[in-house]
Amino acid sequence: MAEILKHAVPGAEVVASLAQVRETVTGVIADIRERGDAAVREYSERFDDWSPDSFRLSAEEVEKIVASVPEQVIADIRFVQDQVRAFAHQQLDSLREFEVETLPGVRLGQKHIPVQAAGAYIPGGRYPLTASAHMTIVTAKVAGVPRVVACTPPIRGEIPAATVAAMHLAGADEIWLLGGVQAVAAMAVGTDSMRPVNLIAGPGNAYVAEAKRQLFGGIGIDLFAGPTEILVLADENADPFVCAVDLLSQAEHGPDSPAVLITTSREIAEWTITEVERLLPGMPTRDFAGPAWRDHGQVHVVDTLDEMYALADDFAFEHVEVLTAEPRLALDRMTQYGALFLGEGTCVSFGDKVIGTNHVLPTRGAARYTGGLWVGKYLKTVTYQEVTDSASQALLGRLCGRASRVELFEGHARSGDVRAAKAEGDALPWNGA
Contact 51, 44 (CB under 8 A): yes
DSSP code at position 57: P
Q: What is the DSSP letter of 58?
A: P
| Cα gap 322→304, rounded to integer Å | 14
Distance CA 243, CA 322 (A): 10
Q: Which residues of 196-227 are buried (b: 16+ CB within 10 A; e: fewer)?
A: bbbbbbbbbbbbbbbbbebbeeebbbbbebbb
Q: How far apart are CA 381 and CA 113, in angstroms?
A: 6
- In 44-202 the beta strands, taken as DSSP E runs, fall at 98-103, 106-114, 117-121, 147-152, 174-177, 199-201
What is the C-alpha separation between 230 and 340, in angstroms, rounded? 10
Q: Which of 135, 169, 141, 142 is nearest to 354 (CA)?
A: 135
Q: DSSP 3-state helix, strand, coil percentages of the chain (rounded to 5)?
A: 50, 20, 35
Annotated catalytic residues are: 318-319
How far the first Cα of the chain sits from its last, in Å, is 78
Rg of the chain (C-alpha set):
26
Residue 130, judged by CB atoms within 10 A of its CB (0-12, 13-18, 19+), counts as buried
